[in-house]
Amino acid sequence: MIQKPSTATAIPSYKKLVSHFRDRDPVMAQAIEGIGPFKLKRNRNYFQTLCRAIVAQQISTKAAETIHGRFCALFPRRRPSPSVTQAIPEEELRSVGLSRQKITYLKDLSLNFENKVIRPRRLIHQSNEEIVQGLTAVKGIGRWTAEMFLIFSLNRLNVLPADDLGVQKGIKKLYSLSEMPTRKVILEFGEQWEPFQTVAVWYCWRSLDEKIT
């Protein structure tokens, strides 16, 4: 088994990943060989990524894209920043379609960046759980959002979002289960996948949607 710390982001070769899963989980290894190499894009715009996640909560994808676009238009070069977010009056934020609750969340997020409670340069040195705890202390950010941040912004390789519907559906499909797996079952799969839970999660998603990157 390949050992990697929880902060690992360097992706092992496709050959090594296949070998690891052949030893630990032949079903996942078969899926990996059928789907092809693991690919994961990294988004280093941490503040902007978290803003987008807050904007998108509990609304349709189309509505989220529209409101997020209007929100970005309030900033120089359409790049949201903590300082400008703090300065924009609530009325102006409301005018782009944001609810009062989401404005509160965005203001709290920007304040955490401004006050250096969240320090982007420190994140790479923190463990997954330290980052989750830090992000979920921000109003409006739950564990799932923090886990997506770990995967898509920091490219952490050992993250298991056990409550993610896509992961549940992917496991059900790949392992031919008669019903959706419980959280307990997913965590048991996760033990087999360590220290590359993110890799297995990605293939669960990819089995449902080939556009996942």
Give domain status of residue 149, yes or no. no
Q: Report the catalytic residues.
A: 164
Tell me, yes or no, whether 115 and 166 share the same domain.
no
Rounded Cα gap, residues 69 and 111, in angstroms: 22
Q: What angle do CA 176, 179, 187 make, to 5 degrees?
A: 85
Q: Does residue 86 sit in the same domain as residue 117?
A: yes
The pTM score is 0.90
- The predicted-structure confidence for 72-123, as pLDDT tens digits, reads as follows 999 999 999 999 999 999 999 999 999 999 999 999 999 999 999 999 999 9
With pLDDT > 90 as the criterion, what percentage of the chain qualifies?
89
Structural domain for 93, as ranges = 46-141
- Residues 131, 181, single domain; the answer is no
* Residues 125 and 53 both lie in one domain: yes
Are 132 and 52 within one domain? yes
Q: How many domains does the chain have?
A: 2
58 shares its domain with 105? yes
Q: How confident is the model at residue 7 (pLDDT cuts 50, 70, 90)?
A: low
My answer on whether 65 and 104 are in the same domain is yes
How many beta carbons lie within 10 A of that of residue 113, not counting itself? 20
- Supply the CATH number for residue 96's domain: 1.10.340.30
